[in-house]
Amino acid sequence: MGGERPVEIARRLVTALLAQEVTDAVLSPGSRSGPLALALHAADEQGLIRLHVRVDEREAGFLALGLAKASGRLTPVITTSGTAVANLHPAMLEALHSRVPMMALTADRPARLRGTGANQTTLQPGIFPGVPMLDRITGLPGAVRDGGPFHFNIEFDEPLVEPVSWDFTQSSWSIQQPVRGQVHLVDLGPRTIVVAGDDADPSVAAVAEQAAWPILAEPSSGLRGASTSVACGRIVLGSRLIERIERVIVTGHPTLSRPVTNLLTKTNLPIVHLGDRSTFPGVAGANVTFADRIGLRAGAPDDAWLKSWLQAGDRIENALLDAEQLTVARAVWNAAGRGLLVLGSSNTIRDVDLVAPVRMPGPRVLANRGLAGIDGMVSTAIGAALGHYGRAIALMGDLTFLHGSNGLLIGPIEPRPNLTIVVLNDDGGGIFHTLEQGAPEYAHAFERVFGTPTRTSIEALCAAHGVRHRLVEATALAGHLARVPVGIEVLEVRVQRAGRRALQSVVSGLAAV
Ligand SMILES: Cc1ncc(C[n+]2csc(CCOP(=O)(O)OP(=O)(O)O)c2C)c(N)n1
Ligand SMILES: [Mg+2]
Report angle CA 238, 239, 243 to the nearest 5 degrees. 100
378 CA from centroid of ligand 2 (Å): 15
Give the pLDDT confidence of 162-214 residue by residue, as tens digits.
999 999 987 665 545 455 677 899 999 899 999 999 999 999 999 999 999 99
Of 221-230, 467-476, 493-502, the one with minimum mean pLDDT is 493-502
Going by DSSP bridges, is the β-strand pair 75-79/50-53 parallel, antiparallel, or unpaired? unpaired
Which residue has the least CA distance to atom 17 on ligand 1?
Answer: 397
Report angle CA 507, 513, 209 to the nearest 5 degrees. 80
Report pTM.
0.96
Give the pLDDT confidence of 240-281 residue by residue, as tens digits.
999 999 999 999 999 999 899 999 999 999 999 999 888 899
334 CA from centroid of ligand 2 (Å): 22
Instruction: Return the higher-pLDDT residue of 498 and 132.
Output: 132
Mutate which of 328, 400, 435 for ligand 1? The one with the most ligand atoms within 8 Å of its CB, which is 400
CB of 438 shorter than 6 A to ligand 1: no
List strands edge to edge, sheet with 75-79: 50-53, 24-27, 75-79, 102-108, 150-155, 133-134
Q: Quick one: average pLDDT of 63-68?
A: 98
CB of 373 shorter than 6 A to ligand 1: yes
Give the pLDDT confidence of 396-412 residue by residue, as tens digits.
999 999 999 999 999 99
Which atom of ligand 1 is nearest to 425's Cα?
16
Which atom of ligand 1 is nearest to 400's Cα?
15
426 CA from centroid of ligand 2 (Å): 5
Q: Is the dihedral of CA 436, 440, 442, 447 positive or negative?
A: positive
SS3 141: helix
Residue 114 banded pLDDT, cuts 50, 70, 90: confident
Phi/psi region, residue 376 (left: phi>0; alpha: psi -120 to 50; beta: rest), is left
494 CA from centroid of ligand 2 (Å): 10
Which residue has the least CA distance to atom 7 on ligand 1?
Answer: 374
* Residue type present at position 197: G
CB of 430 shorter than 6 A to ligand 1: yes
285 CA from centroid of ligand 1 (Å): 31
Q: Which ligand is nearest to the CA of 403?
A: 1
